[in-house]
Amino acid sequence: MVEEAVIGEIRRLLRTPEIIARTARALKKERPDLNEGTVTAALTQFDDLWKALIPAEQARVVQLLVARVTVGEDGIDIDLRHDGLGALASLMTPAQEDAA
């Protein structure tokens, strides 16, 4: 039950403007070819990526994205790894080829 809640929360968080903007800023130095629109497109494709992964790969993605999960009376709180968000978005977005 907690696992499903964590995955659902990750899906929700990856669609929020704050997370998208933070991820785009984090990627600026590493991938200057990516703008916020490209990062948005990549993160909104997370559901498709998730469905294509085998359970071991899904676990790796969760470890990449989640720093801590806190379960309390008020619900579940998930702290994301912002460097993991950047790595995931970078992996989901192919590098642009240089024009010759």
Q: Which domain holds residue 14?
A: 2-92
Residue 80 forms part of a structural domain: yes
Give percent above pLDDT 70 in the chain. 93
d(CA 32, CA 30): 6
Model confidence, pTM: 0.72
Residue 99 forms part of a structural domain: no
Calculate Rg over the CA atoms of the chain.
14
Residue 35 forms part of a structural domain: yes
Number of domains in the chain: 1
Split at pLDDT 50, 70, 90, the class of 99 is very low
Q: What is the mean pLDDT of the chain?
A: 83
Residue 55 forms part of a structural domain: yes
Report pLDDT digits (tens) over 2-46. Answer: 888 888 888 888 888 998 888 888 787 778 887 888 888 888 888
